[in-house]
Amino acid sequence: MLNFAYEARDPATGQKVKATIQADSESGAAKLLQQQGLAPIDIKNLDDAGTSFNPIAKLRNRITTKEKIVFSRQLSTLINAGLPLVQSLRSVNDQTTNKGLKIVISDLVADIEGGSAFSKALEKHPKVFNSIYVNLIAAGEVSGTLDKALERIAFQQEKDAEIMSKVRGAMAYPAIVLVVMGGVLGFMVVKVLPQVETIYKDMPGAQLPFITKVLLAFSHFVTDYWWVVLIIVALMGAALTRYARSGPGKLVVDKLKMKAPPVGPLFMKLYMARFARTATTLVASGVPLIQMMEIVAASISNVHIEKSINNAIEKVKGGKSLADAIDGDPNFLVLVPNMLRIGEQSGSLEDMLGKTADYYEKEVDNQIKTISTIIEPVLMVVLGIVAFIIVAAVLLPIYGLADKNVVG
């Protein structure tokens, strides 16, 4: 139940009434007020108050993939046990601790009680339930297998989350090493090198080595104009982010993901696993082939592969099989059309898509291990080079002083 603050008019006395009320949704609160003989003027959701302009509240109420998986599994179990949909949603809502999800579930209950289908109610929350979720639920409603559709959704979400977690984990190690390396380099340049310069200033005719002069010039700039550095970094970050999200930027970034070593093979296998897993779930739920391809294209997260799938859709509409439609496309790995062809010829497309997804998910694991093996020695070499430059910049002046003292 959600808390609402309301302002209403009492028709009997003509006076305004202000108080709070508990209900499943805003429309539910309005109905309760009308039953009490009041005419609602304004109703505000207290549980959602302040989150629109509060980034901390937004982050706290963000609905995670794990929470969506739990929601799907709980709802599937309750529906399979014979509970009506609305009662199942209310039961799940009572067990949910995330305020954002509670608000969404309450809206779903209100829409369904108002006569909407479950899939139509989900469509009103695209940030929480994507097109795959909505279409699988719609297929489950038509076939009378809503509980199985929810189970398939939860399974797919778990697979997607598992793969992405492994990819992020593989990228975390080099990121941490680079951050630490940058911190050490910054400390040496800003704190240690200036002390070497101070020693040399007191010695007439002493000349600093070239590498030390370069690093000292950088040190002075950062120390004297740190605010300029921050502005430049912020502007560059904002510009790169904006470019990456633009049309031309997405083309470049997505192409780099597919081709740049050593992450190119990883992302290609990740895309193939996502394509096959999503297609498996949709085919198993009875979604028509063309609609399945349209949904997969929208969820693949790569503009080049999305374009290839859309081209394949036109070929399928023209009479070609799915395997022939993507065969020879450079944005698909060779195994995919071969497995699809076997599935189409044997009438077991769902099974072949599932096996393809399993294969590429294992390949993603292997590729992550390969990248980790490659990255570690590369990082060691980079660290060694950086350490050598810093040590040279610090020690060369000291050795120079020692030589002068010996000569003197």
The tens digit of pLDDT for each residue in 145-156 reads: 888 889 988 888
Contacts of 380 (CB under 8 A, 6+ apart): none
What CATH number is given to the structural domain containing 88? 1.20.81.30
**53 within domain boundaries:** no
| pLDDT score at 169 | 82
Please indicate, yes or no, whether residues 6 and 93 belong to a single structural domain of this protein: no
Please indicate, yes or no, whether residues 283 and 381 belong to a single structural domain of this protein: yes
Alpha-carbon gap, residue 30 to 32, rounded angstroms: 5
71 burial level (CB within 10 Å; 0-12, 13-18, 19+): buried
300 burial level (CB within 10 Å; 0-12, 13-18, 19+): buried
| pLDDT score at 190 | 82
| pLDDT score at 50 | 47
Alpha-carbon gap, residue 48 to 84, rounded angstroms: 28
Alpha-carbon gap, residue 195 to 208, rounded angstroms: 13
Please indicate, yes or no, whether residues 183 and 110 belong to a single structural domain of this protein: no
Please indicate, yes or no, whether residues 245 and 96 belong to a single structural domain of this protein: no
Please indicate, yes or no, whether residues 273 and 379 belong to a single structural domain of this protein: yes
| pLDDT score at 305 | 94
Please indicate, yes or no, whether residues 39 and 141 belong to a single structural domain of this protein: no
**215 within domain boundaries:** yes
Please indicate, yes or no, whether residues 298 and 168 belong to a single structural domain of this protein: yes
222 burial level (CB within 10 Å; 0-12, 13-18, 19+): middle
Residue 85 burial (CB count, 10 A)? 18
The count of domains in the chain is: 3
Please indicate, yes or no, whether residues 214 and 271 belong to a single structural domain of this protein: yes
- Tens of pLDDT along 131-170? 888 888 888 888 888 888 899 888 888 888 888 888 888 7
Which residue ranges of the chain lie beneath pLDDT 50? 49-53, 56-57
**34 within domain boundaries:** yes
